[in-house]
Amino acid sequence: MYETILVPVDGSDNAKKAVEEAANLAKAFDSTLQIVSVASDQRYVQYGVTLGQDVMESFRDRAEEILSDAKDIAEKKDVKAETHFVVGVPKIQISKELPEKYGASLIVIGKSGVNGISRAILGSTTAYVVRHSTVNVMVV
C-alpha cells in the first residue's frame, strides 16, 4: 500500500514518535522509510551580522545526529531506511518537493517540532503540510 514513507525529523520527541509509528507501518507494508532533516536555506541575521555557512554547518552536524538516531529506530524494527539532509524551506520541501523526489505516498510527521517560538511566528510546519501535501499525511 505504502511503498515509500517520508518521515521528517527535527530532534523533537514528537518526531521520534513519528519515526516509531512510520517504522511500524513500514514493517507491516514492507515499505522503505525516507527519513529527512530539512534545514532552512534562509539567511540568519542577528545584531546586523548575517550568519550563513557556519550556521548551515552546525545544522548539518545536528541533523546527522538526529538522522542517525532515527535510522537506528528503523533498523531495530528491521525496516529499510535511508536518511537525507536537505536544505530548503521545510514546509515546501516536506509537503511537495520530497514526496515527489523520493516517490513517497505517505508522510508521517510529528504533531509539532522543537521550536515553539518559530511555530508561533511562522505557523506550524505540520499544519502547513496537512493543508498542502501532495500525498496522504499521518500526524503522530
Q: What is the pLDDT averaged over residues 25-48?
A: 82
The C-alpha atoms of residue 99 and residue 126 are separated, in whole angstroms, by 15
Residue 92 has phi, psi (to 5 degrees) of -70, -45
**Structure confidence by residue, pLDDT tens digits, 60-95:** 888 999 999 999 999 999 999 999 999 889 999 999
pLDDT of residue 42: 63
Of the candidates 113, 79, 81, the residue with the CA atom closest to the CA atom of residue 94: 113
Task: Give how far the C-alpha of residue 29 lies from the chain's centroid of Cα atoms, to the nearest Å.
Answer: 20
The C-alpha atoms of residue 35 and residue 91 are separated, in whole angstroms, by 15
**Structure confidence by residue, pLDDT tens digits, 65-74:** 999 999 999 9
Does the pLDDT at position 54 exceed 50? Answer: yes
The C-alpha atoms of residue 53 and residue 122 are separated, in whole angstroms, by 23
The C-alpha atoms of residue 11 and residue 7 are separated, in whole angstroms, by 12
Helical pair 13-29 and 53-76, crossing angle rounded to 10 deg: 40
pTM of the complete model: 0.86
Does the pLDDT at position 52 exceed 70? Answer: no
Quick one: DSSP state of residue 140?
A: -
- Any long-range contacts for 96-102 (C-beta under 8 Å, 24+ apart)? 96/132, 96/133, 96/134, 98/6, 98/8, 98/34, 98/36, 98/38, 99/6, 99/133, 99/134, 99/135, 100/134, 102/4, 102/6, 102/34
